[in-house]
Every structure is written in C-alpha cells, then in structure tokens.
C-alpha cells in the first residue's frame, strides 16, 4: 500500500499565499460591514468599533482556506464531494439508486400527508410548513425552465406576481372564488411566459439571464406605479379565503366547524391551506414527471444538452423554449394565487428580485433537474432561515457560508443523479457529471 508523499515546500507556500489572498479579500469585505456598529446615545448616533470581530472573520477565512488547500487538497481537479465522500464501488454519496429514490419519495409522501396531525406540529410549525411547500412548488416550476430546458431565468418572481395579482383582481372586480380563478391565473401567467419567451429566443447564457432579470423588475415596477389598477405601493387587501365546497372556515352557523359538529379552531383553516398547497405541489410534480417522458420533455433535455445538435435533429427550438417558459410560468401563477389567498393582502414588496434568487438557489442547490433535490433544498433553505432567526445580525453571513460549503462539497447539487427520460431495457441512474447544465 502506497502512501502519498509529504507536502512539498512549494505546495505549502502556494497554499499559504492563496490563504493570505483570501484573508485579504475577507478583510476588505468585513471591515466596512462588521467593523462598526451603530447605537443611539441620547439624541446622537455613535459608531462603536468592533475590530475584534473583523479579526476573527479574517483568521477563520485564512485558516479555513489553508486547511482546504493542504488537508482536503483543493486543487480544482476533482470536486471535494467526489474525492472524499464516496461509497464502496466509487459511487458518490448523494447519488442514490432508483430504488432508494422511490423509497425516499414514499416516506416523504406519508410524512407530508400526516404532518398536520403529528404531536409536535403547532400553529407556527404548520405555517412554516405551508411556506416550505410553497417554495417547493415554485422550485419545481422553475426546474422545468432551468433544470430541464437549461434556460437561466432570473425573473421567475414575475410569474409569481402575475398569478397573485390576477387572482386578487378577479376576486375583487368579478367576485370570483379561489377555485374558479386559480386556472385563469395560471393561464394568464403562462401567457406572460410566452411574451417573455419571444424576445429571448436568440439569447443564451448571461444575456438571457439579464433579460429575464429585467423582465421581473419591469413587472414589479408596473405593479408599483399603476396605482389605479393594482393599488400601487398600497397593494390589494381583503382578498377572499378559499372554501371547502363553499363552506367557509369561520365561526358562523354555516362554517366548517358548525357543519361537521366540531369546536371552532382557527387552525382548521391553516390545515386546509396546507393540504391545498400540498396537492398543488404534487400536481406540479406529477405533470413535470409526465412531461419529461413525452416528446416535449425529451426536446427540453436535448435543448439543454446542445441547442445546435437539437436544431440539426429537426426539433423546433422556438416551440421548445416557449413551452418551457409557459409551463414553468403557469405553475408559478398557481403558487402566486395561493400566496394571495393565504395572505389576504399582496403588494409589490412581496415580489422582489431576492425571491427569484431564492427560488433559483433552491433549484441549483437541490440539483438541476432533480425533483427530490428541490424538496431537500427548500427545507434546508427556508427552514434554515427560521433556525437562525435569533441571530439576526449574522443570519445571512452564516447562511452564505453554509451555501458555499455545500456547493464546494456537492458542486452539482445535493442530489447529483439524473433519471434518463429515454432508456433501453433498463432505467439506470446516471451521474450529473454526464449531464450538461445548459447555457440558455
């Protein structure tokens, strides 16, 4: 058995030099952000220096980078997750086989449907679960555009907003209920997805990302300034709640509790909302999986792999891109309608770029094209924000460090395997390293 030779002086010097450069960058970033803290002293605002905190941050970056280069061997030739976290046989951790994924899916479904009735589930946890499932649905919708078709979309929150405002305006102006307005909101969002798709048909990569980012900001600015139609910064309030076959969740004699002979509990409405968004999310997942097996789904994946080869095979890339944008936008519109009826109030501040970035981060972190990966990433990211709520000043810093760590460990996402849409004799899981990420 051979052992690796000890570190050469040149390699150590290179590692120290790299760590010192990283520490210098950390110093430049941390000094203005963490070096001072403002506090009110009487009628004046004073600055309190905190250079000790900057010193800790710089020392942590220097030590972490040095350890990474010397111990882990961050030479850039092989991802850390592949080099250090492998099972017997060479298959990396996080690349389960088809049977393992099916078992995980079944257990997740059982837990999801029984979640409101578990002993530890209270009002706060149930509200958090509704939020997590909403982002899972949004992640699955964006996964069609980014994960399957390889089109980088930074303005997905625009379709989320279109769905929310469509339902709110239909409910207020035409007195339509949630269930009747839901498909209309999805159709309108899909229509706007097609409108976005036409101008970007010839764009790829960074240019496509910039245009989609601009589209999301245009929608938000229009909502903010068209006061007569959208309410402007005041938003729209009094949005009706969904009902169960016309039965409202209130204290009246026709309410849910009175109809079924139960004691009134405000949590009944939250449980109902949880199952509504859960069924909408499962519908999104089911339709996505079915579309992947159809010719349009295989065309999306061919477009992601190589657009030129896709054209040479006779595939209409125009229709392929437009269907990807419209399908992803439709599910975003569904989620937006649910958001509006759950909140009862919407405003342009709910649909900023940070929402698009968060949804895209969920898709990338989970693994492009992976449905289960989106679920895991949404739970980690949305639930992670709540875990660090008490550390408000350092929450984003901790969150960013964890994100960088995970992407170093698993550069292709938490679930780095893909199930092929077309196969011969047997469906086998393939590594994400053999799948293109797409360039738009």
Interval 79-101: pLDDT, tens: 444 444 444 444 444 445 555 66
72 and 131 inside one domain = no
Pair (419, 285) in one structural domain: yes
Q: Is residue 271 situated within a structural domain?
A: no
Angle at 188 between CA 186 and CA 191, to 5 degrees: 110
Same domain membership, residue 106 and residue 13: no
Pair (224, 182) in one structural domain: yes
Domain contains 369? yes
Q: How far apart are CA 179 and CA 237, in angstroms?
A: 19
* Matching residue, tokens 């010397």: 70
Question: What does the pLDDT read at residue 144?
Answer: 93
**Tell me: the pLDDT tens digits for 12-26?**
888 888 889 988 988
Domain span including residue 40: 9-77
Angle, vertex CA 235, rays to CA 234 and CA 239, nearest 5:
135
Compute the Cα dihedral for 326, 328, 329, 333 and give only its sign: positive
Asked whether residue 269 is domain-assigned, the answer is no
Q: Are residues 136 and 240 in the same domain?
A: yes
Do 322 and 194 form a contact (C-beta atoms < 8 A)? yes
DSSP 184: H
- Structural domain contains residue 90: no
Instruction: Return the closest-CA partner of residue 399 out of 413, 385, 420, 383.
Output: 385
Q: Do 62 and 145 belong together in one domain?
A: no
Residue 268 falls inside a structural domain: no
Helix axis angle, 395-409 to 371-387, nearest 10° = 150
Total tally of structural domains belonging to the chain: 2
In a shared domain, residues 327 and 181: yes
Contacts 24+ apart (CB under 8 A), 11-18: 11/70, 12/70, 14/69, 15/66, 15/69, 15/70, 16/66, 18/65, 18/69
Please tell me the predicted confidence (pLDDT) of residue 217. 92
Q: Which residue positions in the chain have pLDDT lower than 50?
A: 1-6, 76-95, 439-440
- Angle 215-216-217 from CA coordinates, rounded to 5°: 90
The verdict on 308 and 229 lying in the same domain is: yes
Residue 262 inside a domain? The answer is no
User: CA-CA distance, 258 to 224, in Å (whole number)?
Assistant: 41
Backbone angles phi and psi of 237, in degrees to 5: -115, 175
The pLDDT of residue 286? 94
Question: Strand, coil or helix: what is 346?
Answer: strand
Q: What is the pLDDT of residue 419?
A: 63
For residue 49, the model assigns a pLDDT of 85
Looking at the fold, whether 55 and 141 belong to one and the same domain comes out as no
Helix (H) or strand (E) holding 391: none
Contacts of 2 (CB under 8 A, 6+ apart): none
> Please, are residues 65 and 11 in contact by the beta-carbon 8 Å criterion?
no
d(CA 272, CA 291): 29
**pTM, rounded to two decimals:** 0.79
174 & 39 share domain:
no
Are the beta carbons of 294 and 144 closer than 8 angstroms?
Answer: no
Cβ atoms of residues 5 and 11 within 8 Å: no
What are the φ/ψ torsions at residue 156 (nearest 5 degrees)? -65, -25
Do 25 and 143 share a domain, yes or no?
no
Identify the domain boundary among 46, 77, 108: 77
Examine residue 426 and state whether it is found in any structural domain, yes or no.
yes
How confident is the model at residue 77, as a pLDDT? 46
Residue 348 lies inside a defined structural domain of this protein: yes
Sign of CA dihedral 411, 416, 420, 423: positive
Q: Give the H/E segment covering residue 439.
A: none
Tokens 């994400």 sit on residue: 432
Do 398 and 282 have their domain in common?
yes
Residue with tokens 């898709």: 363
């Amino acid at each position: 058995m051979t052992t690796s030779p000890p570190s050469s002086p040149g390699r150590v010097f290179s590692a120290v030099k790299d760590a010192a450069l990283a520490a210098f960058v950390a110093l430049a970033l941390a000094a203005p952000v963490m070096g001072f803290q403002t506090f009110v002293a009487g009628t004046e605002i004073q600055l309190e220096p905190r250079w000790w905190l900057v010193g800790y941050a710089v020392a942590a970056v220097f030590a972490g980078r040095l350890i990474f280069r010397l111990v882990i061997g961050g030479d850039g030739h092989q991802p850390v997750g592949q080099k250090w976290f492998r099972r017997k046989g060479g298959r990396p951790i996080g690349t389960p086989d088809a049977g393992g994924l099916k078992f995980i899916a079944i257990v997740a479904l059982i837990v999801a449907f029984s979640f409101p009735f578990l002993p530890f589930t209270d009002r706060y946890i149930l509200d958090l679960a509704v939020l997590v499932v909403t982002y899972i649905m949004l992640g699955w919708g964006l996964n069609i555009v980014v994960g399957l078709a390889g089109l980088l979309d930074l303005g997905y929150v625009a379709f989320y907003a279109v769905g929310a405002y469509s339902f709110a305006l239909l409910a207020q102006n035409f007195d339509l209920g949630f269930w009747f307005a839901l498909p209309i909101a999805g159709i309108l969002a899909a229509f706007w997805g097609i409108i976005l798709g036409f101008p970007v048909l010839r764009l790829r990569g960074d240019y496509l990302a910039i245009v989609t980012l601009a589209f999301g900001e245009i929608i938000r600015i229009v909502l903010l300034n068209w006061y007569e139609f959208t309410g402007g910064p005041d938003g729209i309030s009094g949005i009706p709640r969904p009902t169960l076959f016309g039965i409202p969740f209130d204290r009246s004699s026709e309410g849910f509790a009175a109809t079924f002979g139960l004691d009134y509990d405000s949590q009944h409405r939250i449980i109902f909302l949880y199952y509504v968004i859960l069924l909408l999310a499962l519908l999104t997942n089911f339709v996505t999986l079915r579309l992947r097996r159809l010719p349009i789904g295989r065309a999306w994946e061919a477009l992601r792999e190589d657009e030129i080869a896709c054209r040479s095979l006779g595939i209409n890339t125009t229709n392929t891109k437009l269907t990807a944008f419209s399908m992803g936008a439709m599910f975003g519109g569904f989620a937006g309608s649910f958001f509006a009826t759950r909140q009862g109030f919407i405003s342009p501040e709910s649909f900023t770029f940070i929402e698009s970035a968060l949804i895209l981060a969920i898709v990338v972190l989970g693994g492009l094209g992976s449905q289960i990966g989106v679920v895991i990433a949404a739970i980690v990211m949305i639930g992670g924000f709540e875990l660090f709520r008490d550390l408000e000043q350092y929450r984003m810093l901790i969150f960013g460090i964890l994100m960088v760590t995970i992407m170093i460990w698993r550069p292709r996402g938490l679930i780095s395997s893909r199930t092929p849409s077309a196969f011969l004799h047997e469906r086998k899981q393939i590594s994400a390293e053999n799948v293109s990420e797409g360039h738009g």
